[in-house]
Amino acid sequence: TQRFEVERAWSDAWTSFFGLDNRLAWAHVSLNLPDFYNPGGVANPVSTGKQQRVDVRATSHNLGGYWNNDLRFDESWSLKAGLRYDYFASIREGNIGPRAALKRNFSPYRLLRLASGVYYQPPSEQQTSEEVGNPDLRAPRALHLAMTYEEDLRRGASNGW
């Protein structure tokens, strides 16, 4: 994966980040699958009978672009808001995912963060294979919501315990 990012400070309280991601991958997946078909109508899934060998070879190219903004309201509160666009060439699909995080600093060593966003991930090569998968499969969408508490127990020291 290659990433290119540019940072632009619009003011002391507002900084933007513009970036591009480029991922190119090759996959070779070999599968030995049991053949469950039985002309008599009763199949035995634990049988050592016939197997079907499937070789999936694929190339995937994923492109992404993002725009993130850090807005600092004061020493205690900040907001990170952004958009990400992902294009998955293997399924010819593009998606936009908004993201946001609200951060509250209680001290230089303690903070609380609430973050949410929409994320997309392309299906794997074997999932979209015509032999064993579904070539019409789309990228699943997930809504993430996280609340984290962070504390620096070293209080900024760099020499460990």
pLDDT, tens digit (0-9, with 9 covering 90-100), for 49-82: 677 777 878 788 899 999 999 999 999 999 999 9
Give this prediction's pTM.
0.75
Cα–Cα distance, 154 to 152 (Å, whole number): 5
Q: What is the pLDDT of residue 44?
A: 62
| Whole-angstrom distance, CA of residue 46 vs CA of residue 65 | 47
DSSP letter assigned to residue 114: E
In terms of Cα–Cα distance, which of 59, 56, 57 is closest to 91? 59
- Contact predicate 116/143, CB 8 Å: yes
Q: List Cα–Cα distances, 31 to 28, 43, 53, 100, 154, in angstroms.
A: 10, 20, 6, 40, 49
Which residues, given as ranges, of the chain have pLDDT below 70? 35-49, 160-161
Q: What is the pLDDT of residue 39?
A: 66
